Chain A
């Protein structure tokens, strides 16, 4: 019952919530990022990171370091935290935590299928996959020729199976189809996750609805902008938008017919939460849009920690860690390539 979760949440979730809040305290702050931005080379970065929670993961790496190593080890910490929480969780928290991985699974599937299309080696592709999205039969994806085979051979046994009902065609896989497949799968995943959170009810459903609605709207805008000027028809574009969120359904109608960025801006400025994002950019510019969306997402994720006794803190923590890893990757790349003037273009500060 909404309002009385404090009475029973701690039976199953109290310990894990306290653990995830402890992890949140270990996220890098603005002061940490400032120190990192002033590093001269990757060994300096490693030294600064050794004072943070990443220390034990990076200390055994030999120099010279690569940026990919730093990112890989930091992702390893995220995976360890996640697995520790998952093995302690009971229903429905364990299902909730599993849902957080499905997005990565979809990304991995698309990565392998695209890579096979471009004739890359399967082992090389498997190393690039995100560890949270691995499942047993993932290597068999390289064998499939079209989507029906993809489903029948590999994906029917995975948790992604129910998301495939709209995707089954016998067409051969090419770049366009794969992108459409990715977006259709992600749409089904978001709707499924949304329904699951509604079923849990209480503070979880309230906070997760807000976070997932923002995700759905952001994807709608990105799909629109990326498909301007391609051969994707308006009906196809509309089919890729999710069935919930602030933009559903009228915003989607308007976005489907947009042909350039200024029209998109015109549509989005009718919605007060997104007006603030779009007003930060000057006309005709879309590079800052990604960063503006990330900043808004981080702001909402940090707000999820203000309430106690709900599951959205787990989702928020995973997303904030992923953002932190993105920040670290950007900073490492800028430092390695001696482009420190561009560091502040893409780092999103959290606290």
Chain B
């Protein structure tokens, strides 16, 4: 059924003949790799401002490590989802590898990886930039810290949305039974 409506040498046929395991593997790699990219980017944005501001105002260091922890959480989401996704991989006999249901499972894992990876990328960036401004404002006026922290909490919720949708998506990854 899968090859009936498609001409044997069109691009669509070529795409459909890529192994679903390729897509799954790329999805898992993106989920962890791009999440860690976002977390690292956020941490250096916050960290450089925090170090400089702490010279004149050493009291800010312990409180402002929360910003770094929020960025780190983003990387942890990526690791958790990558582990969940890799448990969804199953062996399928070669006769069924290009069935619609196999392809669906492969695409589901790919999509889940992309969702989580890019949501965590932008979440890490967001939390990093806010964390940098938070450190600088706290150094000038310590009453501002808690209010800016609320903004950061909303920012880190973005990564959580990505993880939730990614996990729901990965539940779609049902391979055909033998």
A interface residues, Cβ below 8 angstroms from B: 6-7, 10-11, 14-19, 21-23, 25-26, 308
When distances are taken between beta carbons in the complex, the residues of chain B under 8 Å from A15 are: 48-49, 51-52
When distances are taken between beta carbons in the complex, the residues of chain B under 8 Å from A14 are: 44-45, 48-49, 52, 132
Inter-chain contact B57/A25, CB cutoff 8 Å:
yes
Inter-chain contact A308/B133, CB cutoff 8 Å:
yes
Given B41, B48, B125, B136, which contacts A308 in the complex, CB threshold below 8 Å? B136
When distances are taken between beta carbons in the complex, the residues of chain B under 8 Å from A21 are: 52-53, 136, 139-140
Interface residues in B123-178 (C-beta closer than 8 Å to A):
125, 129, 132-133, 135-136, 139-140
Residue of A nearest to B125 (CB): A7
If the complex has contacts A7-B125, A25-B56, are A18 and B136 also in contact, measured as CB distance less than 8 A? Answer: yes
Inter-chain contact A25/B140, CB cutoff 8 Å:
yes
If the complex has contacts A15-B51, A18-B50, are A6 and B56 also in contact, measured as CB distance less than 8 A? Answer: no
When distances are taken between beta carbons in the complex, the residues of chain B under 8 Å from A308 are: 132-133, 136
CA distance in complex: A22, B125 (Å): 24
Inter-chain contact B53/A18, CB cutoff 8 Å:
yes
Inter-chain contact B52/A23, CB cutoff 8 Å:
no
CB of B12 closer than 8 Å to a CB of A: no
If the complex has contacts A18-B135, A21-B140, A22-B139, are A10 and B56 also in contact, measured as CB distance less than 8 A? Answer: no
CA distance in complex: A7, B41 (Å): 8
CA distance in complex: A11, B43 (Å): 11
CA distance in complex: A21, B125 (Å): 22
CB of B55 closer than 8 Å to a CB of A: yes
Given A15-B48, A18-B53, A21-B136, 16 additional A-B pairs, CB 8 A: A6-B129, A6-B132, A10-B132, A11-B44, A11-B48, A14-B44, A14-B49, A15-B52, A18-B49, A18-B139, A19-B52, A19-B53, A22-B52, A22-B53, A22-B57, A308-B133
Q: How far is the CB of A1 from chain B (nearest CB, A)?
A: 15
When distances are taken between beta carbons in the complex, the residues of chain A under 8 Å from B133 are: 308
Given A16, A17, A26, which contacts B56 in the complex, CB threshold below 8 Å? A26
When distances are taken between beta carbons in the complex, the residues of chain B under 8 Å from A22 are: 52-53, 55-57, 139
Inter-chain contact B52/A17, CB cutoff 8 Å:
yes
CA distance in complex: A69, B136 (Å): 34
Q: How far is the CB of A14 from chain B (nearest CB, A)?
A: 3
Q: How far is the CB of A248 from chain B (nearest CB, A)?
A: 36
When distances are taken between beta carbons in the complex, the residues of chain B under 8 Å from A10 are: 44-45, 48-49, 132
When distances are taken between beta carbons in the complex, the residues of chain A under 8 Å from B52 are: 14-19, 21-22
Q: Supply 17 A–B pairs (Cβ within 8 Å), ascending by A.
A: A6-B45, A6-B132, A10-B45, A10-B132, A15-B51, A18-B48, A18-B50, A18-B55, A18-B135, A18-B136, A19-B52, A19-B53, A19-B56, A22-B55, A25-B57, A26-B56, A308-B132
Q: How far is the CB of A103 from chain B (nearest CB, A)?
A: 26
Inter-chain contact B140/A19, CB cutoff 8 Å:
no
